[in-house]
Amino acid sequence: MTKENIHVFLVEDDPLITRLIAGEVSKKGWTIDNDPTGKEAVTKMKAKVPDIILLDLMLPGVDGMTILKDIKTQPELKDIPVLMLSNLAEADKIEESRNLGAVKFLMKATSSMSTIVTEIEANVK
């Protein structure tokens, strides 16, 4: 796989952030799927396995940590890099996400779209 055809799965409930990330991903020629509530995220990912997952911590349907735990128990998803997104900079949440297998924890308020794209490129296998 080359960096030109990355499939990103975004689990994000904020429409503005979703549009911004989707716009950047599209500019790179990559594809993106989204589940705004997290309720169907794992099912959708298993149907069309992504190269990387961007996962919001706070969602209306289910907690991002719960989704991360579920991802890491799925044989077809467990090795996919997960970038956590949040505006909560709590050290315990950052540590918990890393312990559960997330490769990075990005603060939405301080991470530019170019930073997110760089992290996607750096973490896709």
CATH of residue 47: 3.40.50.2300
For the chain, residues with pLDDT lower than 70 are 1-3
Domain presence at residue 39: yes
85 three-state secondary structure = strand
What's the pLDDT at 3?
A: 66
Q: Do residues 120 and 52 make contact, with C-beta atoms less than 8 angstroms apart? A: yes
What's the pLDDT at 69?
A: 96
pTM of structure: 0.94
CA distances from 27 to 24, 31, 89, 114 (A): 5, 10, 29, 11
Percent of the chain with pLDDT over 90: 83
Domain presence at residue 1: no
What's the pLDDT at 1?
A: 43
Domain presence at residue 22: yes
Count of the separate structural domains present in the chain: 1
Domain assignment of residue 105, given as a range: 7-123
Domain presence at residue 26: yes
Domain presence at residue 72: yes
Domain presence at residue 2: no
E strand or H helix that includes residue 111: none
